[in-house]
Amino acid sequence: MSAPLIVILNGPNLNLLGQREPEIYGHATLAEIDQMCARTAGGLGLTVECHQSNHEGALVTLVQEARGRSHGLIINPAGYTTSSVALLDALLAYPGPIIEVHLSNIHKREAFRRDSLVSRAATGVLCGFGARGYALALHAIAGLLL
Ligand code: CA2
């Protein structure tokens, strides 16, 4: 049997990771995080597909395309976390486990970052663990699936 597929989605501006604000978001680039996710997934008997988009509609389409093809979803919705009803609606239609990840602890920052719409569709939420949050999310999904 082939390894269950987990789709990892990263929202706007996360393509800039490692280039600015390392004190908040860490030094790892998104390519390094994607590689770490592939390694972690392999060790757990999972496989990953990683995407990043700066566009709300593209993220909605990626969630829709993950339906029926993947066994779980990890998403850092970034700047769409508190504003995108379209992304929430797409996630509510996704049948598998969804883990919402934020590199920073959004509860320690400005109030506007806290009220996540995406959390309403998430199985669980991880924030404040930096890049390690993605690995923790993969472990959480493995625990739910395997
Ligand atoms: O902590 C997170 O992962 C966030 O989802 C990151 C978002 C922010 O809007 C959320 O409140 C929390 C921002 C992503 C921007 O990423 C950058 C990376 C490097 C340089 C500039 C922005």
Shortest-distance Cα residue to atom 15 of ligand 1: 13
Alpha-carbon torsion (37, 139, 70, 93), positive or negative: negative
Q: Which of 71, 80, 102, 134 is catalytic?
A: 102
Q: How many domains does the chain have?
A: 1
Rounded Cα gap, residues 134 and 40, in angstroms:
9
Ligand 1 in contact with 24 (CB < 6 A)?
A: no
| Model pLDDT, residue 138 | 98
- Tell me the two tokens of residue 23: 């004190």
Task: Name the pLDDT band for 1 (thresholds 50, 70, 90).
Answer: confident
Mutate to test the pocket of ligand 1, among 25, 100, 125, 132 (most ligand atoms within 8 A of CB): 25
- CATH (domain of 117): 3.40.50.9100
Active site residue 102: yes
Q: Which tens digit of pLDDT belongs to each residue from 90-134?
A: 999 999 999 999 999 999 999 999 999 999 999 999 999 999 999
Range of the domain at 86: 5-143
In the chain, the largest separation of any two C-alpha atoms, in whole Å, equals: 46
Q: What is the average pLDDT value for the chain, to the nearest integer?
A: 97
Residue 134 a catalytic site member:
no
pLDDT for residue 65 is more than 80: yes
| C-alpha 128: how far from chain center | 13
How many residues are given for the chain?
Answer: 146
Nearest ligand 1 atom, CA 105:
1
Strand partners, 74: 8, 99
The answer to whether the CB of 76 is under 6 A from ligand 1 is yes
Name the closest-CA residue to atom 9, ligand 1. 79
Q: Is the pTM of this model over 0.85?
A: yes
**pLDDT over 80 (residue 137):** yes
Q: How far apart are the first and last CA of the chain?
A: 13
Q: Which residue has a Cα nearest atom 10 of ligand 1?
A: 78
Compute φ and ψ for 94, nearest 5 degrees: -85, 125
Identify which of 88, 129, 128, 130 has the alpha carbon closest to the alpha carbon of residue 106.
Answer: 128
